[in-house]
A and B are shown apart, each in its own frame.
Chain A
Amino acid sequence: MARNRAARVAGLVLAIAPGCSAPPDSGVAPAEAPGAGPEATPAVRFVDVTAESGIDHVLPSGTDSTYPMPAVMGGGLAVFDADGDGDLDLYVVAPAAGGNRFYVQQEDGHFTDATTAAGLEGDGMGCAVGDLDNDGDLDLYVTRVGPDRLFLNDGKGVFADRSAAWDAAVPGWSSSAALLDYDRDGYLDLYVARYVAFDPARVCSQHGGRRDFCGPTEFEGLSDILLHNLGGNGFENVSAVAGINAVEDAGLGVVAADFDHDGEVDIYVANDADPNNLWIHQGSGRFLDDGVLQGAAFNRWGNSEAGMGIAAGDADLDLDLDLFVTHLITETNTYYRNLMLPGFEDATIDTELGAASLDLTGFGTAFFDADNDGDLDLAVANGAVKRRPSALAAPGGAAAPPAFWSDYAEPNLLLFNHDGRFADASAQRPWTELGLSRALVPADLDRDGDLDLVIANLDGAPRTLRNLTIDAGAASDEPTVANWLQVRAFDPRLGREALGARITVRTPDGPRLLHALPPGSYLSAGPTAAHLGLDAAESVESFEVVWPDGLVESFDGVAANQVVELVRGEGQAE
Chain B
Amino acid sequence: MTGPRKKVAGLRPAAVPAGLRRFAASPGGGSEDPRTQRDASTGGGSLSSTSRTFALVFLLTAAVLPAQQIPTPGLDGAEPAVRQRFASLQADLRADPGNGDAWGRYGMVLEAHTFTDAAITAYRQAHRLSPRTFRWPYLLAALVDERSAADSLPLYRAALALDPDYAPARVRLAEALERTGQFDTANQEYAQAVRLDPANAHAHAGLGRLALAAGDADAAVRHLSRARDLAAENRSFAVTLAQAYARAGDRERGQQIAAAARSLGRINYRDDPIRSSVHDLALDARSYLRRANAHRVHGELDLARRELRAGIDVDASRPELHFALAEVLAAAGDPAGSLAAARRAYELHPELEGVAPFLARALFQTGDLSGALAMAEEALRLDAGDVSMMLLVALVSAERGDVARIVEVLDRAYRERPQDPPTRDGLIQLLTNVGEAMVSSGLPDAAAGHFRKALDLAEEAGSPEAAGLRRRLAQVRR
Interface residues of A (CB under 8 A from B): 199, 201, 205-211, 217, 219-220, 273-275, 292-295, 297-298, 300-304, 330, 341, 343, 345, 349-350, 352, 354-356, 358-360, 389-393, 411, 413, 423-424, 426-427, 432
* A209 CB contacts on chain B under 8 angstroms: 77-79, 82, 284-286, 315
CB pair B148 A355 closer than 8 Å: yes
A345 vs B215: C-alpha distance when bound (angstroms): 10
- Give chain B interface residues in 94-119, CB to chain A under 8 Å: 112-117
| CB within 8 Å for A355 and B239 given contacts A199-B353, A207-B112, A209-B82 | no
Report B-chain residues with C-beta under 8 Å of the C-beta of A303: 236, 268
User: In the assembled complex, which residues on chain B have CB atoms less than 8 Å from the CB atom of A426?
Assistant: 2, 5
Instruction: Verify A208–B351 contact, CB threshold 8 A.
Output: no
List the A side residues contacting B44 at CB < 8 Å: none
Given contacts A207-B284, A208-B113, 10 further A-B contacts (CB under 8 A): A201-B349, A206-B114, A207-B282, A207-B286, A292-B254, A293-B243, A294-B243, A301-B209, A330-B146, A427-B4
Residue pair B82, A208 in contact (C-beta under 8 Å): yes
Pair count A-B, CB < 8 A: 136
Alpha-carbon separation in the docked complex, A32 to B454 (Å): 78
* A356 with B1, Cβ < 8 A, contacts A208-B75, A303-B236, A393-B7 known: yes
Shortest beta-carbon distance, A17 to chain B, in Å?
36
* Bound-complex Cα distance A358 to B3 (A): 11
- Ranked nearest first, the 8 interchain pairs of A and B with the lowest CB-CB distance are A302-B236, A424-B1, A209-B79, A389-B116, A293-B246, A210-B77, A209-B284, A208-B78
A400 CB to closest chain B CB (Å) equals 15
CB distance from A97 to the nearest CB of B (A): 23
Binary interface encoding of chain B residues 60-93 relative to chain A, with 1 for a CB under 8 A from any of its CBs, else 0: 0000000000000101111100100000000000
Name the A residues within 8 Å of B237 (CB-CB): 302
From B5, B113, B247, A392 is in contact (CB under 8 Å) with B5
Query: Once bound together, how far apart are the Cα atoms of A330 and B266, in whole Å?
Result: 16
Decide yes or no: A354 and B179 within 8 Å by CB, A206-B114, A392-B5 being known contacts: yes
Q: Which of B76, B79, B236, B246 contacts A294 (CB 8 A)?
A: B246
**A390 in complex: contacting residue of B7, B76, B82, B236, CB < 8 Å:** B7
**Looking across the interface, which residue of chain A has its beta carbon closest to that of B210?**
A300
Question: What residues of chain A lie closer than 8 Å to B180, measured between beta carbons?
Answer: 349
Chain B residues within an 8 Å CB radius of A432: 5
Q: Are the C-beta atoms of B2 and A295 separated by less than 8 Å?
A: no
User: Does B287 belong to the interface (CB within 8 Å)?
Assistant: yes
Give the interface size bracket for B toward A.
Answer: 35 or more
Whether the pair B266, A273 counts as a contact (CB closer than 8 A) is: yes
Residues of A within 8 A of B2 (CB): 355-356, 359-360, 413, 424, 426
- Residue B196 is within 8 A (CB to CB) of chain A in the complex: no
Taken residue by residue from 22 to 39, chain B's Cβ proximity to chain A (1 for < 8 Å, 0 otherwise) reads as 000000000000000000
- In the complex, the answer to whether B213 meets A300 with C-beta atoms within 8 Å is yes
Decide: A355 and B266 in contact? CB cutoff 8 A.
Answer: no
**Is B187 in contact with chain A by the CB < 8 A criterion?**
no
Q: Give 22 CB contacts A-B under 8 Å.
A: A205-B286, A208-B77, A208-B82, A209-B82, A210-B76, A210-B77, A210-B78, A274-B266, A292-B239, A292-B242, A302-B205, A302-B238, A303-B236, A303-B268, A343-B246, A345-B213, A355-B1, A358-B147, A358-B148, A359-B6, A389-B116, A427-B4
Cα–Cα distance between A201 and B1 once the two chains are bound (Å): 41
Tell me the bound Cα distance from A205 to B8 in angstroms.
24
Check A207 against B113 for contact (C-beta < 8 Å).
yes
- Nearest residue, chain B, Cβ from A330: B146
A304: chain B residues within 8 A (beta carbon)? 266
Determine if B113 and A390 form an interchain contact, defined as CB atoms under 8 angstroms apart.
no
Contact B209 A300 (CB under 8 A): yes
C-alpha gap A356/B6 in the complex (Å): 9
Question: Chain B CB within 10 Å — which of A341, A345, A349, A393 has the most?
Answer: A349
Minimal beta-carbon separation of A377 from chain B (angstroms):
14
Residues on A with C-beta less than 8 A from B235 are 302
**Is B47 at the interface (CB under 8 A from chain A)?**
no
* B384 is an interface residue with CB less than 8 A from chain A: no
Let me know if B255 is at the binding interface, CB within 8 A: yes
Interchain CA distance A108-B150 in the complex, whole Å: 49
Residue on A nearest B224 in the bound complex, by CB: A302
Pair A292/B1 contact, Cβ less than 8 Å:
no
Max chain B C-beta neighbours (<10 A), residue from A205, A273, A426: A205
Residues of B within 8 A of A302 (CB): 205, 209, 235-240
Closest to A332 in B: B179
In the assembled complex, which residues on chain B have CB atoms less than 8 Å from the CB atom of A206? Answer: 113-114, 284, 286
**In the complex where A220-B353, A304-B266 touch, is A207 in contact with B236 (Cβ < 8 A)?**
no
A390 vs B239: C-alpha distance when bound (angstroms) = 34
Whether, in the assembled complex, B9 has its beta carbon less than 8 Å from a beta carbon of chain A, the answer is yes
Distance in Å: Cβ of B401 to nearest Cβ of chain A: 36
Complex CA–CA separation, A292 to B251 (angstroms): 11
Q: Let me know if B421 is at the binding interface, CB within 8 A.
A: no
Q: Does B327 contact A (CB under 8 A)?
A: no
Q: Which of B1, B146, B287 contacts A207 (CB 8 A)?
A: B287
For the complex, what is the distance from the CA of A207 to the CA of B86, rounded to whole Å?
A: 13
Asked if A343 and B353 make an inter-chain contact with CB atoms under 8 angstroms apart, the answer reads no
B114, A208: Cβ atoms closer than 8 Å: yes
- Which residue of chain B lies nearest to A434 when distances are taken between CB atoms in the complex? B5
Partner of B114, one of A207, A297, A424: A207
In the complex, chain B residues whose CB is within 8 Å of the CB of A293:
242-243, 246, 251, 254-255, 258
Given the complex, which residues of A lie within 8 Å of B268, measured CB to CB?
Answer: 303
Q: How far is the CA of A359 from the CA of B6 in the complex (A)?
A: 7
CB–CB B148/A350 < 8 A: no
The reply to whether A392 and B7 contact each other, CB–CB distance below 8 Å, is yes
Assuming the contacts A273-B266, A355-B2, A393-B7, asked whether A208 and B179 have C-beta atoms less than 8 A apart, the reply is no
CA distance A495 to B9 in the complex (A): 59
Whether B181 pairs with A292 at a CB distance below 8 angstroms is no
In this complex, the member of A207, A211, A352, A392 whose beta carbon has the largest number of chain B beta carbons within 10 angstroms is A207
Q: Which residues of B contact A297 (CB under 8 A)?
A: 239
Q: How far is the CB of B250 from chain A (nearest CB, A)?
A: 10
Bound-state CA distance A185–B213 (Å) is 40
Determine whether the beta carbon of A201 is less than 8 Å from that of B79: no
**Closest-CB distance, B262 to chain A (whole angstroms):** 9
B 139-169 binary contact with A (CB < 8 Å = 1; else 0): 0000000111110000000000000000000
Given A273-B266, A292-B258, A389-B116, A205:B284 Cβ within 8 A:
yes
Q: Does B178 sit at the interface, judged by CB under 8 A?
A: yes
Question: Is A301 a contact of B236 with CB atoms below 8 Å?
Answer: yes
Question: How far is A275 from B77 in the complex, measured between Cα atoms in Å?
Answer: 34
Q: How far is the CB of A477 from chain B (nearest CB, A)?
A: 34
| CB of B82, distance to nearest CB on chain A (Å) | 5
- In the docked arrangement, what's the CA distance between A175 and B319, Å? 29
Q: How far is the CB of A412 from chain B (nearest CB, A)?
A: 11
Of all chain B residues, the one with the shortest Cβ separation from A212 is: B77
In the bound complex, CA of A392 to CA of B76 (Å): 19
Expressed in whole angstroms, the Cα–Cα distance for A184 and B82 within the complex equals 60
The interface residues of chain B lying within 8 Å CB-to-CB of A356 are 1-2
User: A209-B78, A392-B5, A423-B1 in contact; A292/B286 too (CB < 8 A)?
Assistant: no
Query: How many Å lie between the Cα of A201 and that of B349 in the bound state?
Result: 9
Binary contact track B310-325/A, C-beta < 8 Å → 1, others 0: 0000010000000000
Tell me the bound Cα distance from A393 to B9 in angstroms.
12
Most chain B beta-carbon neighbours within 10 Å: one of A354, A358, A411, A423: A358
Smallest CB gap from B151: residue in A = A355
Residue of A nearest to B9 (CB): A390
Q: Which of B308-352 contact A (CB under 8 A)?
A: 315, 349, 351
Q: Chain B residues near A355: list those with CB within 8 A.
A: 1-2, 148-150
B143, chain A: closest CB distance, angstroms: 10
Task: Identify the closest chain A residue to B78 (Cβ).
Answer: A208
Per-position contact with A for B264-291: 1 when CB-CB < 8 Å, else 0?
0010100000000000001011110000
Per-position contact with A for B181-212: 1 when CB-CB < 8 Å, else 0?
10000000000000000000000010001000
Docked Cα-Cα span, A283 to B114, in Å, equals 48
**A479 to nearest B CB, angstroms?**
32
A335 to chain B, nearest CB (A): 13
